[in-house]
């Protein structure tokens, strides 16, 4: 059975990608999947070389044949997304590709066209396989693209006899995040000791509970506010959620990023790296024991 661990956070910028990259460097026999398809950054640290590219045709777009159009305006009236302008042109940013305009058009002038809204890459890194993607700027349907990334990661994991898929998720709790925790055995939430971090941690924990996924919590930059870190520890204790570790604030993390390396390789003796090593050991244990 291939396990899946998703790193998520609710709040952005808490350190998901930094931590995922170090986990990827520490792990053996894992396939890494970058599911933050809006703003994927993991490739900056892991340097994947694409071996296969898959086109993503996630969403459709209405196209009006102006030569056939009788200019009745019915499409504009029936579109609930205000995606058809006064001049009866399609606004590609507003169009959700539902097809209502094509349905109501009396002259049959509207068709839905598939658009290539991104790409999925199956790649090799120095340490193993990685699946990542790029959503075309401004495209919708990032949830579908995340599903496609995960699906490809699973195929690679099966072929390579990998034991674990390590997923770097997107911030938030909406569609792409839901798509990246689907099928996960464990969700590790990376938080920080700020009131925003705590607020967003609670919502991310609720999300994992909603989908019945075992939660773990990791507190990053814990020494920025020790009092808030205690509040997080207390809250997790109360909720019966394991806190797998605390990582101190250290500029070495940014230095590693500028050097395009996982911090655990850039500075293996740093306190951050030591903590990450310990945390990974525990997380791996929990994921592998589960189920």
Partner 1 sequence: MIVSIASGKGGTGKTSVAVNMALSIENIQLLDCDVEEPNDHLFLNPIVDQIEPIYSLVPKVDDELCDRCGECGRFCQYNALYVASDRVLVFPELCHSCGGCLLVCPRKAITEQRHKIGVLKRGSAKGLELVWGELEVGEPMAVPIIREVKKSIGIYENVILDSPPGTSCPVIETISGSDFCILVTEPTPFGLHDLKITVEVLKQMNVPFGVIVNRADIGDRKVHEFCGEKGIPILLEIPFSRRIAELYSIGVPFSEVMPEWKKRFHVVFYEVENLVK
Residues near partner 1 (CB under 8 A) are 9-14, 17, 37-39, 41, 44, 60, 78, 80-81, 93-94, 96-100, 103-104, 112, 135, 137-143, 170-179, 192-197, 199-200, 203, 206-207, 210-211, 224-225, 228, 251, 254, 257-258, 260
Q: Find the shortest distance in angstroms from Cβ 31 to partner 1.
A: 22
Q: Find the shortest distance in angstroms from Cβ 104 to partner 1.
A: 7
Q: Find the shortest distance in angstroms from Cβ 212 to partner 1.
A: 11
Q: Find the shortest distance in angstroms from Cβ 28 to partner 1.
A: 26
| Comparison of 13 and 29: residue with beta carbon closer to partner 1 | 13
Q: Find the shortest distance in angstroms from Cβ 115 to partner 1.
A: 13
Bridge partner residues of 7 (DSSP):
168, 188
Residues 170/6, Cβ–Cβ less than 8 Å: no
* DSSP 8-state assignment for residue 34: E
Q: Find the shortest distance in angstroms from Cβ 14 to partner 1.
A: 6
Q: How far is residue 9's CA from residue 214's CA, in Å, rounded to a whole number?
A: 14
Provide the greatest CA pair distance for the chain.
72
Residues 288/282, Cβ–Cβ less than 8 Å: no
| Comparison of 128 and 172: residue with beta carbon closer to partner 1 | 172
Residues 27/175, Cβ–Cβ less than 8 Å: no
| Comparison of 14 and 157: residue with beta carbon closer to partner 1 | 14
| 245 three-class SS | strand
Q: Find the shortest distance in angstroms from Cβ 53 to partner 1.
A: 18
| Comparison of 109 and 142: residue with beta carbon closer to partner 1 | 142
| Comparison of 164 and 170: residue with beta carbon closer to partner 1 | 170
State CA 104 to chain mean position distance: 37
| Comparison of 4 and 17: residue with beta carbon closer to partner 1 | 17
| Comparison of 179 and 287: residue with beta carbon closer to partner 1 | 179
Percent helix / strand / coil, the chain, rounded to 5: 40, 25, 35
Residue-wise burial string across 2-41, b where 16 or more C-beta atoms lie within 10 A, e elsewhere: bbbbbbbbbbeebbbbbbbbbbbbbbeebbbbbbbbbebb
Bridge partner residues of 52 (DSSP):
122
Tokens of 62: 């209405």
Going by C-beta distance under 8 Å and a sequence separation of 6 or more, which residues neighbour residue 240? none
Q: How far is residue 62's CA from residue 148's CA, in Å, rounded to a whole number?
A: 23
| Comparison of 139 and 185: residue with beta carbon closer to partner 1 | 139
Q: Find the shortest distance in angstroms from Cβ 263 to partner 1.
A: 13
Tokens of 71: 């200019």
């Amino acid at each position: 059975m291939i396990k899946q661990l998703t790193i998520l956070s609710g709040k952005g910028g808490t350190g998901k990608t930094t931590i995922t990259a170090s986990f990827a460097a520490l792990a053996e026999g894992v396939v890494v999947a970058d599911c933050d398809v809006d703003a994927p950054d993991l490739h900056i640290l892991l340097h994947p070389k694409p071996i296969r590219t898959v086109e993503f045709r996630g969403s459709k777009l209405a196209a009006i044949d102006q030569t056939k159009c009788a200019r009745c305006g019915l499409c504009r009236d029936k579109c609930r997304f205000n995606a058809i302008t006064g001049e009866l042109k399609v606004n590609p940013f507003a169009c959700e590709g539902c097809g209502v305009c094509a349905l109501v058009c009396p002259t049959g002038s509207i068709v839905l066209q598939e658009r290539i809204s991104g790409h999925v890459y199956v790649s090799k890194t120095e340490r193993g396989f990685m699946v990542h993607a790029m959503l075309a700027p401004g495209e919708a349907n990032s949830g579908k693209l995340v599903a496609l990334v995960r699906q490809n990661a699973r195929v690679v994991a099966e072929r390579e006899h990998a034991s674990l898929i390590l997923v770097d998720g997107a911030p938030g709790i909406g569609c792409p995040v839901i798509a990246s925790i689907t099928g996960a055995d464990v969700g590790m939430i990376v938080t920080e000791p700020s009131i925003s971090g705590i607020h967003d941690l609670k919502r991310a924990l609720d999300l994992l509970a909603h989908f019945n996924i075992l939660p773990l919590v990791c507190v990053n930059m814990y020494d920025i506010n020790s009092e808030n870190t205690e509040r997080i520890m207390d809250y997790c204790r109360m909720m019966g959620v394991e806190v797998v570790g605390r990582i101190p604030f250290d500029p070495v993390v940014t230095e590693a990023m500028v050097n395009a390396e996982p911090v655990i390789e850039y500075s293996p003796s740093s306190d951050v790296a030591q903590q990450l090593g310990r945390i990974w050991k525990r997380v791996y244990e929990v994921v592998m024991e589960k189920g």
